[in-house]
């Protein structure tokens, strides 16, 4: 039985990856320090014979007993609300955490896949974004802590591949959604759906002309799984190329949720990207992958998930207390 370590296992993407690898017959070690993850996301796996959970911060020394075949590094704050509140931890998990895990991969002769992001393209001057585009990132802006953490993560991963011969893979993840997203995530889908469920007006930042491309979680996991098992070492975009403006998306959410709320507009955050659309030609060619779930179908499933949350979850404080992690 092959064994895989998945960091950020209690997060949105990480927990779905745990499910997938359990389904495929792997022994899964999940690792998370719950800084942004939620134990509820892996509660259903805790008694599974092929699942082991370790509560640990990957920026500290990591020790794994026995053999290890794969590492998937998904530990990181991923929403602006989180990484603007814990910027140092965001930089540390992308640098120290990645360094520690690459050391484990080297020691165990394990293949390691890192979760990079479309944010490495910054506010892009090329549209749609291809893997050979170097990006347009403000290194000293408030979002730079996340963008640069991921860019460094890619660089050190390739250095370990070239210098130490570590088997590595890099996935650049575009906007992904589905069950287990946090309502207080700060990103547009949970924000709009949470506001609709609470009877609040939908808030658009900027004039709504900015675009996003939304990929359903099952499609994203399939792309990541195929990339891990491929022979390609350079970055690959995994996302849905169907682009929509935020204004049009707000109208879709109003129709989906059958609400009568207004749309209100607030100032656009600093360096918020105006366009986000992946070119997935490489994923199609290398992996035979493209998204299958239509946005209408995926949004219905996601909205049903949010509808079934408790009132406490729906109305709890918008921001998590990160005091213990700011060191």
> Active site residue: 146, 160, 225, 325, which one?
146
Q: Is the preceding omega at residue 283 within 30 degrees of 0, hence cis?
A: no
Three-state DSSP class for 72? strand
Q: How many CB atoms are located within 10 Å of the residue 139 CB?
A: 10
Check if the beta carbon of residue 98 is closer than 8 Å to that of residue 166: no
Take residue 181 and report the two structure tokens written for it: 């997203």
Q: How many CB atoms are located within 10 Å of the residue 224 CB?
A: 26
Q: How far is CA 47 from the centre of its chain?
A: 26
Q: Is position 146 annotated as part of the catalytic site?
A: yes
Kindly list the distances between the CA atom of residue 108 and the CA atoms of 64, 66, 129, 142, 264, in Å, as whole numbers in the listed order: 9, 9, 35, 37, 53
Check if the beta carbon of residue 289 is closer than 8 Å to that of residue 222: yes
Q: What is the dihedral of CA 113, 118, 120, 126, to 10 degrees?
A: 130
Take residue 244 and report the two structure tokens written for it: 């929509």
Pairing, β 168-173 against β 51-55: unpaired
φ, ψ at 106 (rounded to 5°): -65, -45
Q: How far is CA 69 from the centre of its chain?
A: 22
Q: What is the dihedral of CA 28, 31, 36, 42, to 10 degrees?
A: 40
- In angstroms, what is the C-alpha Rg of the chain? 19
So which residues are the catalytic ones? 146
């Amino acid at each position: 039985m092959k064994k895989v370590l998945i960091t950020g296992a209690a997060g949105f993407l990480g927990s779905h990856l745990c499910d997938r690898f359990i389904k495929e017959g792997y022994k899964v070690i999940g690792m998370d320090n719950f800084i942004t993850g939620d134990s509820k996301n892996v509660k259903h796996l805790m008694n599974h014979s092929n699942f082991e959970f370790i509560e640990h911060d990957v920026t500290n020394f990591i020790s794994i007993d026995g053999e290890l075949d794969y590492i998937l590094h998904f530990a990181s704050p991923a929403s602006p609300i989180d990484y603007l509140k814990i910027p140092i931890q965001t930089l540390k998990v992308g640098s120290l955490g990645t360094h520690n895990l690459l050391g484990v991969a080297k020691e165990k002769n394990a293949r390691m896949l890192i979760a990079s992001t479309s944010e490495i393209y910054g506010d892009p001057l090329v549209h749609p974004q291809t893997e050979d585009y170097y990006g347009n990132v403000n290194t000293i802006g408030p979002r730079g802590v996340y963008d640069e953490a991921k860019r460094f993560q890619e660089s050190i991963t390739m250095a370990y591949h070239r210098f130490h011969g570590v088997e590595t893979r890099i996935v650049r993840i575009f906007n992904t959604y589905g069950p287990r997203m946090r309502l207080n995530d700060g990103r547009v889908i949970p924000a709009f759906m949470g506001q609709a469920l609470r009877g609040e007006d939908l808030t658009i930042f900027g004039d709504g002309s900015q675009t996003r491309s939304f990929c359903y979680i099952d499609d994203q996991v399939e792309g990541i799984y195929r990339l891990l098992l491929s022979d390609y070492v350079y970055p690959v975009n995994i996302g849905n190329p169907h682009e929509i403006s935020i204004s049009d998306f707000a109208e879709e959410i109003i129709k989906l949720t059958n609400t009568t709320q207004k749309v209100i507009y607030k100032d656009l955050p600093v360096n918020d990207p105006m366009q986000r659309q992946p070119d997935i030609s490489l994923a199609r060619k290398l992996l035979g992958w493209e998204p299958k779930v239509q946005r209408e179908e995926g949004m219905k499933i996601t909205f049903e998930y949010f509808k079934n949350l408790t009132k406490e979850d729906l109305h709890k404080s918008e921001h998590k207390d990160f005091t213990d992690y700011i060191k």
